[in-house]
Structure 1
């Protein structure tokens, strides 16, 4: 759902080369007036050479034209269009991740919140990011009844953490106070060169270096924590 399409690029989604064809084969085109389950027509595999990834990761490519969805925000049930496009398709997947734009109040966010079961917040240990996390929790509490009554917050992942900085240690304590320690993943995502390389060169962490493999192991631990949290919060919500 992020119009910048960073995740689409970093996973090397197999999209058409021609710009006009790329737009038609994107989530932006599907969400104009989606039929039930229509997202299936644009799904493409991850483009990493290793079939470990290409056989397990499927992408609905983003596109800059996702920004244009705000022009039709006033139409009936506009915020439900992603939910409609996903209907019946998600049954084939273990986990569906909706990558959101980095803001709080936008039509793309409303669409994502309406389609999601749980919300996961990456949060840098910096003052402004911690305040933003507080506002997201407040917005979910305030608008859940209109956007998605079943939406639950799985918790937060501390991102770009530098353990040698006292201010980062202090901010992690503040993050825990927002909703309690159980809402914060105990595995931190450290600010590492290997992660920056993955973002820059669009390749798997394990292909980078020993440091990249360590980072990949950390993300595996985060995934294990997340699945437990999803089971916990959706059970509580039910």
Structure 2
């Protein structure tokens, strides 16, 4: 069996609406543009990432989703759920996805079942060996679904909207990941909290500037990555379920932001 080269990264925050899903879809695109192969796993019952990447749930042609993968938990079963993302061009060749749908909520009730937190890790065993990155879009919670992703991940990153609640949610996520007890109970003692990534940053707001200035003291200067500005073009791409590249020159600034972010990931997450 080949050794897994994929670096698994779980993106989270204990607060919703911080730009987490937008970061996952855009960083996946940027990694693909760098020539890397990426597997995206939607671990949120809202399934926003699945829709944005062209794989929404359709009753007339249902796909195998994260819910079925986790329900089984058998070694390697995640292979049955992998499909190319719904975007065209190089993205369909380099980005695959395990989509989600609303019934993923049903897995939460299984949290007390022995071994349940390891189901996603087992399901992915041997499946993502040939990908460069596996990205998990976590639910905005520290509950069972997020723990399933963290149990399978090598690294965790927090998306941090520079407002009070966004920072607090990121701190709770960081503290959960860094707890030796939590990592041991998830069966993943080697999990590393890698970065706090400021997101949806509005340079016009004094409050954002203030909270940005506090992040190095909270998370450590080397773990605060370059900020992701708030731009309407990201929302436009998400609404239309297309990559930023399809929006032409008006997306150039944000494509460059994510290109820089992707190169940092490639360099630092080894």
**TM-score normalized with structure 1 length:** 0.90
CA distance in 1 between partners of 2:70 and 2:245 (Å): 34
Cα deviation code 1:12-59 (max 9, x no counterpart): 02x67326x62x61110121122211111111111113x211000000
CA distance in 1 between partners of 2:267 and 2:203 (Å): 26
Q: Residue 7 of structure 2 corresponds to which residue in structure 1?
A: none
Q: Does 1:62 align with 2:100?
A: yes
Give the number of the structure with larger relative contact order, counting CA–CA contacts within 8 Å between residues 6 or more apart: 2
Name which of structure 1's ranges 88-97 and 221-230 shifts more when overlaid on structure 2: 221-230
CA distance in 2 between partners of 1:190 and 1:115 (Å): 29
What is the deviation of 1:138? 1.4
Query: What is the RMSD of the two structures over their aligned residues, measured on CA atoms?
Result: 1.5
CA distance in 2 between partners of 1:224 and 1:36 (Å): 32
Q: Residue 204 of structure 2 corresponds to which residue in structure 1?
A: 164
**TM-score normalized with structure 2 length:** 0.80
Q: Residue 208 of structure 1 corresponds to which residue in structure 2?
A: 247
Contact 1:5 1:62 in 2 (8 A): yes
Name which of structure 1's ranges 222-231 and 65-74 shifts more when overlaid on structure 2: 222-231
Contact 1:130 1:174 in 2 (8 A): no
The structure in which a higher percent of residues are helix is 1
User: Which of these two proteins has the greater Rg computed from alpha carbons?
Assistant: 1
Q: Which residues of 2 match residues 125-140 of structure 1 at below 5 A?
A: 125-140=162-177
Q: Which residues of 2 match residues 65-214 of structure 1 at below 5 A?
A: 65-104=103-142, 106-142=143-179, 143-147=182-186, 148-186=188-226, 188-214=227-253
Cα deviation code 1:193-213 (max 9, x no counterpart): 110101111111011132312
CA distance in 2 between partners of 1:98 and 1:184 (Å): 20
Contact 1:30 1:38 in 2 (8 A): yes
The structure in which a higher percent of residues are strand is 2
Q: Secondary structure at the match of 2:137?
A: coil
Q: Residue 236 of structure 1 corresponds to which residue in structure 2?
A: none
CA distance in 2 between partners of 1:146 and 1:34 (Å): 17
Q: Does 1:220 align with 2:259?
A: yes
Cα deviation code 1:146-190 (max 9, x no counterpart): 22201001101111101121111111111221121110112x211
